[in-house]
């Protein structure tokens, strides 16, 4: 079993080149803006390892992720603001593998992901989420290891938006994706 907490808090500023309508509020062209994309999540995973070997692993399982989405649109003067908050469960398929060579160098990977089409008021929405990592490391003792890890985190949703949900909220179109990579150095206690 694995428990993971992953905070994501991205903030940026820009001046609008055209009008932007968010949840019934129009931010006029030329408005200096601040944007926040918060997407913290909690994930609980269960894996079954098909190999009995302590140094090698080939495991498959499921994860249940609880995501907390916070989207904020604010004019820099603070006069105009819209916030959208959403809490939702995301089921994922999980794979993990590791191979240890005779010299105690190891390669490993861990993948959580889903691709799903789901219905909405507007039609079919595509939802994607992938959290993948590739790790290479060395175990100088049976209790400690050091590693280099390359991780890709990406996902989002795309919806059709063909007819107005209401005059306040527009046509319901959505195209929201994030792609991020990290390279980290670390150690582990086994």
Judge whether 117 lies within some domain.
Answer: yes
User: How many C-beta atoms lie closer than 10 Å to residue 92's C-beta?
Assistant: 18
Judge whether 54 lies within some domain.
Answer: yes
Judge whether 105 lies within some domain.
Answer: yes
- Residue 113's pLDDT is what? 95
Mean pLDDT of the chain: 89
Report d(CA 110, CA 146) in Å as an integer. 17
Judge whether 178 lies within some domain.
Answer: yes
Q: Of 82, 85, 74, whose CA–CA distance to 22 is shortest?
A: 82
Tokens of 19: 């009008």
Confidence band (pLDDT; 50, 70, 90) for 152? very high
pLDDT reading at 174 higher than 80: no
- Residue 154's pLDDT is what? 92
- Residue 173's pLDDT is what? 65
- Domain of residue 170: give its range: 2-16+32-189
pLDDT reading at 86 higher than 90: no
pLDDT reading at 163 higher than 80: no
Mean pLDDT score, 56-80 = 94
Judge whether 23 lies within some domain.
Answer: no
Confidence band (pLDDT; 50, 70, 90) for 55? confident
Coil, strand or helix at 28: coil
Judge whether 25 lies within some domain.
Answer: no
Coil, strand or helix at 76: coil
Confidence band (pLDDT; 50, 70, 90) for 172? low
Number of domain units in the chain: 1
Confidence band (pLDDT; 50, 70, 90) for 171? low
pLDDT reading at 29 higher than 80: yes
- Residue 127's pLDDT is what? 84
Judge whether 26 lies within some domain.
Answer: no
Report d(CA 139, CA 152) in Å as an integer. 24
Confidence band (pLDDT; 50, 70, 90) for 21? confident
Tokens of 175: 């195209």
Tokens 């008021």 appear where?
Answer: 121
pLDDT reading at 155 higher than 90: no
Confidence band (pLDDT; 50, 70, 90) for 50? very high
Judge whether 22 lies within some domain.
Answer: no
Q: Of 65, 69, 59, whose CA–CA distance to 108 is shortest?
A: 59
Mean pLDDT score, 115-132 = 82
């Amino acid at each position: 079993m694995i428990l993971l907490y992953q905070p994501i808090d991205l903030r940026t500023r820009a001046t609008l080149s055209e009008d932007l309508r968010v949840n019934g509020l129009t931010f006029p062209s030329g408005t200096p803006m601040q944007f926040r994309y918060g997407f913290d999540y909690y994930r609980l995973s269960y894996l079954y390892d098909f190999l009995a070997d302590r140094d090698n692993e080939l495991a498959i399982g499921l994860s249940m992720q609880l995501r907390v989405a916070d989207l904020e649109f604010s004019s820099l003067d603070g006069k105009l603001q819209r916030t959208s908050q959403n809490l939702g469960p995301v089921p994922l398929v999980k794979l993990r593998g590791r191979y240890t060579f005779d010299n105690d160098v190891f390669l490993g990977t861990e993948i959580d992901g889903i691709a799903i089409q789901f219905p909405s008021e507007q039609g079919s929405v595509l939802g994607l989420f992938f959290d993948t990592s590739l790790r290479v490391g060395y175990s100088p003792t049976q209790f400690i290891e050091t590693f280099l890890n390359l991780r890709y985190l990406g996902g989002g949703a795309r919806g059709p938006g063909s007819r107005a949900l209401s005059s306040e909220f527009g046509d319901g179109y959505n195209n929201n994706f994030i792609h991020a990579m990290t390279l980290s150095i670390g150690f582990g206690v086994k």
